[in-house]
Structure 1
């Protein structure tokens, strides 16, 4: 009994603070709104929700026994529901804006809700490109009441921004959700609107690869989920390549693609592959080549005359062995690891996993010199291009070190000796045969019994 009395006294004290309270709520057409009941009114008598625009209309009722009901008249019965003591209005229409009352009994108004229309839009509503002009509007139908304080917050920023009537020139950082903040007294209402500014994100301008690493040229638009929206606006997508070592510095067309005429481009030149055409226009190959060095460019040509362009410079790391990959133990070896140009200041070259303390290096660790190679120097040699603690790419070669008198050298020497001996034997045999023939011929000439004297004779 005492607990019930304390609850009733607490309820009366709360009512004294809320009876006659007025609250302004801003909402957009098509959105849902919850009119929250002020307090937990248990124990309670009947509670009613009313709506007043031209006349008062009872929307729902509840009692302390758990009974409740809601208006069945069209169109309210499809829009209204109760969440505890709170009233939920789904998919607000123009007709729903007005004044709502939360009452205890049919006469005691506890709180009044003024539901006011708020309009938020962006112009133009289509996809934007960097350099386009955009205007944002956040208007409140305050119906003669005090105008609330309205300002905008850009994406991922908490700063207060008051936009000019003429709009702003958008950049890539303006893409995202803009928040319209409506401040009425101590209460804030926030409304978000999505702005899509399509752009190639700022990616590293230099990509490193090697003849033993994969080649990647990243070209992807941001935001990544905007492809289906910008696809009808695209006239053509082009890829081009300008070689680094060529005397002709004119770009070479790799491929072009029109979303209206085909679904996939054919990347034939230099056996390049594309990642996908769902906003990711990256190019790749399983392994880089020396002639891949140069500048790659991807250009999106829009129908309204604007272009988006992104470029990537590709550098190929390679190891140049001198005099070659096959050496004899004791020979001098130079391994030149290079990208064919000057290294950036924050990038370094390191040899791995050999014990480089026994070797000498020159020219920013690009040239490794071994005065006399040994048998244990054979095998895989790896040169890494590193930035801080991360490996950007690596090149690998295999050295073959042969001993001074290797098996093949012994076989070669023995074969040469055998050939020399065989030639000597054949020469001796041929000489002896020739001498025998001469003796035999001389013996035959001397067997005549009555040799005739030289001169002329009468017959």
Structure 2
């Protein structure tokens, strides 16, 4: 004790170091403790014996700096009307001071005195707050504020953030004056909902504190832009999956579903919806001219529309938008529709050509293209468009089943078939005759071919009937001869 008293005279610098807990003459007399704003902390009165062993004249007291908070002995307890009087208690049997709902202003020196003992605790308070009370919409950028207060000089803090998936998050520091740190985080996605961690570090004084905080991101589990393909006259269902049930969002929010055929066009409201604090979804159909249905059975927290018979002009952007406290989040589905046609549309005559056209309604992503091919055909029956071309024509002279494919990154997204039928023989006569120069003479020759063909068929049928008659006559004569021989 004498060595300690000689080595550490009560200079202001030494006194400050004692308060910060960096130098300790006796480990039990100087403590350094971290408290988090809004939570509680328990300060120890080191080495004090239990209540039952205290002598009658032993008095225990707690002070905040020089302000008396409470005094107690073996049989009585006296509490002052100090600034934290309604937020602290004494925990038996070791007279610990428990302070609830901490505030930044609670930082400072707390002293427990009993007999000749004094235990000083320097309480350092950290306060972490998140903008918008931690309730965000997807694509919003949260702002984190970390404040500190202490009895001595404020340390330079090192802050590291981890998201709900334990991935380190880069934060852009906007303000740093040791008392208040302001940082902007990344744009949030729906999957970022959960418990985040803020690691606070300092070497002097030694601080190693993890602060957990909740982040809720209301939005869609769909991608920001989803592309869906359909063929004309097919049935397609478009779905948007809200994550409100998954993150237990206990607030009311509303939304609507709009459609527009292309960017810059007028939007048409198809339906609106609201979700109650209990998570119940209510939808109202707004459009009567647009042919669609709202399925009754669908996954929970899902906005869904069904197009029972897709038209080419049903293509475009379907945008689902939700609103919460004047802020908005949205998710789009781009519907791309495919159709095929032929010119001429009739059966394909022998020796004639036909043009098949495959067309999609909207722009294609990079790496996507169209392909025509004949089923069970050869390499010569395949034609590809250039990348991102929305229309592909192919001239054909062979009948059969032709298919148009939309291919994206070597994956067939959608296919549509067109059956090219071969024209009957008598039609070929007409086409062949009409193709010779297109003159009246050629047309007359064509008609002559038709007549000749008909006459030839008639002569063939007549010869067949005559042959049948001769055969019938021969059979009758044979029967008559056999009858005469028998007689």
TM-score, length-scaled by structure 1: 0.53
User: In the alignment, what sits opposite 1:336?
Assistant: 357
The count of residues paired between Structure 1 and Structure 2 equals 328
8 Å Cα contact 1:51-1:58 kept in structure 2: no
Deviations 1:183-202 (A, max 9, x none): 13387432232233445575
User: In the alignment, what sits opposite 1:281?
Assistant: 303
5 Å-filtered alignment, 1:306-385, equals: 306-324=327-345, 326-327=347-348, 331-340=352-361, 343-351=364-372, 353-359=375-381, 361=383, 364=386, 366-373=392-399, 377-378=400-401, 381-385=402-406
| 1:325–1:399 distance in 2 versus 1, CA, 3 Å | farther
Q: Which of 274, 296, 300 matches 1:258?
A: 274
**Greater shift after overlay, 20-29 or 169-178?**
20-29
- How far is 1:316 from its partner? 0.5
**Aligned-partner SS, 1:194:** strand
User: In the alignment, what sits opposite 1:53?
Assistant: 45
- How far is 1:336 from its partner? 1.1
Task: Answer yes or no: is 1:388 the counterpart of 2:388.
Answer: no
CA distance, structure 2, for counterparts of residue 210 and residue 259 of structure 1: 33
Deviations 1:372-418 (A, max 9, x none): 32xxx24xx43221111223322234444466379xxxxxx89x97x
Deviations 1:251-271 (A, max 9, x none): 332122234698432557413
8 Å Cα contact 1:264-1:277 kept in structure 2: no
8 Å Cα contact 1:296-1:312 kept in structure 2: yes
Superposed CA RMSD: 5.3
Structure 1 stretches lacking a partner, 5+ long: 1-18, 34-49, 60-73, 78-90, 100-112, 407-412, 422-459
User: In the alignment, what sits opposite 1:229?
Assistant: 250
8 Å Cα contact 1:24-1:114 kept in structure 2: yes
Q: Which of 159, 175, 198 matches 1:180?
A: 198
| 1:396–1:114 distance in 2 versus 1, CA, 3 Å | farther
Structure 2 stretches lacking a partner, 5+ long: 1-25, 52-88, 93-97, 111-120, 428-453, 463-487
Q: Which of 205, 216, 235 matches 1:196?
A: 216
TM-score, length-scaled by structure 2: 0.51
Deviations 1:216-252 (A, max 9, x none): 545445687347334x1x2x4222223469xx95333
- How far is 1:132 from its partner? 7.0
- How far is 1:319 from its partner? 1.6
**Aligned-partner SS, 1:366:** strand
8 Å Cα contact 1:299-1:308 kept in structure 2: yes
User: In the alignment, what sits opposite 2:259?
Assistant: 241
